[in-house]
Copies of this chain bind each other. A is one copy, B any other.
């Protein structure tokens, strides 16, 4: 049967095998991409086993400009150019630029908060709580709660998704990983508002 060359290339990108092996796997699976991939994984022919560990190198730089007053750039990576061009993926990129514009996050996720920012926030909240005359032994717990709330608001992945506030942005991205069958990583973003103090 005739196998779509694009499918062969995608399978090759995903598994790291040669064109011939990728074509054979698709032939054996009668052109069913998912079955071909599953078979290759079973036989240990793929170089990366877990989706979350596979490198996301392809992708899109998305941008959004609101009325010449707010600008946003986002880099979202996936594993293949095929997914990068997929409409579901490009819609995700668009949603992420809008989210960054509206939610004004400072970090992608809690892992990306620099120690210096965490220390500064801890000092600020501790001073505030002390000023309110809270009992000394309760202060660490109260501060911990304030830090958690503060960074949840400032981390893109923990923000409520603007189009569906019942869901976090992180969960919305995970949905797309399942939907598209590739690892997807929101790598970084940049946001500028006119005249803001940095």
Contact = CB atoms under 8 A, between A and B. Distances in A.
B65 A194 contact: no
A73 B195 CA distance: 14
**Interface size bracket, A side:** 20 to 34
Interface in A68-122: 68-73, 75, 77, 84
A195 B71 contact: no
A188 interface: yes
Contacts of A70: 61
A67 to B, nearest CB: 9
B75 A192 contact: yes
A46 interface: no
Interface string A152-191: 0000000000000000000000000000000000001010
Contact of A194 (B59, B64, B68, B69): B59
A70 B193 CA distance: 20
A198 B84 CA distance: 21
A24 interface: no
Contacts of A71: 61-63, 73, 75
